Amino acid sequence: MKIVMLGAPGAGKGTQAKQIAAKYGVPHISTGDIFRANLKEGTELGLKAKVYMDQGQLVPDSLTLELIMDRFSKDDCRNGYVLDGFPRTIPQAEALTKALKDNNDRLDYAIDVDVPDENIINRMSGRRACAKCGGTFHIKYNPTKVEGICDLCGGELYIRNDDKPEIVQKRLVAYHEQTQPLIDYYRNEGILKTVDGTQDVDKVFEDIVAILEA
């Protein structure tokens, strides 16, 4: 079961990806995790990526794809994986499809967690993070016992820059321009499945499981 997760920032695709991975015993793969692992292990690909990262530049698509394909070759991916955060653009998606095809492989599903922009802005602007331990909460969906104070360590909560409404709006504009076209791309590939991400987290997961086990 080889899955790529789609959805706007704040749609909850990362949460769903982790749950899918846990239920089916396959790895949850994000580009950030791959970069960190390769940097930590000092691999040849990791050292190549470090050159760009140290200069504050984006790692080129071709190198990112090399890192992803290398990750797919590991034993724990034998029964599949859940890819989260890549591809973000049509050229990346086309390159991934070709690289998989060259290995006589392909994705089974592209799962789009669909949430309207308005819901995302409300959802993300309610998130709070702990300055001390990094714990995350939500004023509506996961409130702390004492407002503004972390349940885990008693630290002070704050709104991350990424969660401020004006920043969220900018990220959504970028998403609609660059990433949303992937939905049509994977629809044309015949593997797109869409779930209503405005529902309760458990219900969204139920709907995904129903798709995977249909």
Report the CATH number at residue 10: 3.40.50.300
Q: Is residue 44 part of a domain?
A: no
pLDDT surpassing 90 at residue 205: yes
pLDDT surpassing 90 at residue 10: no
pLDDT surpassing 90 at residue 161: no
Q: Is residue 204 part of a domain?
A: yes
Q: Is residue 185 part of a domain?
A: yes
Mean pLDDT calculated for residue range 147-170: 92
The two beta strands, 127-130 and 157-158, are antiparallel
Q: Give the residue numbers marked as catalytic.
A: 13, 88, 127, 160, 171
Quick one: pLDDT at residue 159?
93
Model pTM greater than 0.95? no
* Per-residue tokens: 161: 């820059």
Q: Is residue 23 part of a domain?
A: yes
Q: Is residue 165 part of a domain?
A: no
E strand or H helix at 48: helix 44-54
* Per-residue tokens: 74: 């590991």
Quick one: pLDDT at residue 140?
86
Print the domain residue range for 99: 2-27+74-116+178-212
Q: Is residue 107 part of a domain?
A: yes
How many whole angstroms separate alpha carbon 18 and alpha carbon 71? 17
Mean pLDDT calculated for residue range 95-101: 97
CB 12 within 8 A of CB 197: yes
Mean pLDDT calculated for residue range 123-151: 91
Helix (H, G, I), strand (E, B) or coil at 81: strand
Q: Is residue 205 part of a domain?
A: yes
User: What single-letter DSSP state applies at residue 124?
Assistant: H
Percent of the chain with pLDDT over 70: 100
Q: Is residue 128 part of a domain?
A: no
Mean pLDDT calculated for residue range 60-66: 94
CB 26 within 8 A of CB 1: yes
Reported confidence tier of residue 178, pLDDT bands at 50, 70, 90: confident
Q: Mean pLDDT across the chain, nearest whole number? A: 93
The total number of structural domains in the chain stands at 1
